[in-house]
Amino acid sequence: MRILILCTGNSCRSQMAHGFMQSFDSRLDVFSAGTEPASRVNPQAVEVMAEAGIDIGSHTLHHVSEHLGGRWDYVITVCGGANENCPVFTGRVMHRLHIGFDDPSRAMGTPEFIAGEFRRVRDEIKTRFYRLYAEEIKPQLP
């Protein structure tokens, strides 16, 4: 099963969702991309994912245009910007979903508050994506 997770910058939320979804089942081919990719994966996203036992430090950023002609079982946007600016895919897309999350990289405040926002969003992503996996995706797998 092929899954593409989209965000605007492909540096935080989509990378965390990518890491979690891949950790749920090795039979999944998971990719992430952005409509306006940043220059690197957000270091705080890498840090909070490591706390959860998932290494996304080697993930690379990709532009959504690299994936437009592909065959996808799921294309999932995780931010409003990517949802609104999601291009038309020329390949086959079986399911297109939007599961939105706050952007922790925009959090303002003390370092402790910002770290807490990254953890909160990480945990929300894990919960929502695990529910999608368990209820919808896993039953479709051979």
Q: 28-60: string of b/e by CB count within 10 Å (b at 16+)? A: bebbbbbbebbeebbebbbebbeebebebeebe
Show the 3-state SS of 3-41: EEEEECCCCCHHHHHHHHHHHHCCCCEEEEEECCCCCCC
Residue 86 bears catalytic tag:
yes
86, 93, 114, 115: the active-site residue: 86
Which listed residue (3, 5, 7, 78) is catalytic? 7
Q: Which residue of the set 56, 78, 79, 82 is catalytic?
A: 79
Give the Cα separation of 10 and 94 in Å (integer). 22
The reply to whether 12 belongs to the active site is no
- 79 catalytic per annotation: yes
As annotated, the active-site residues are 7, 79, 86
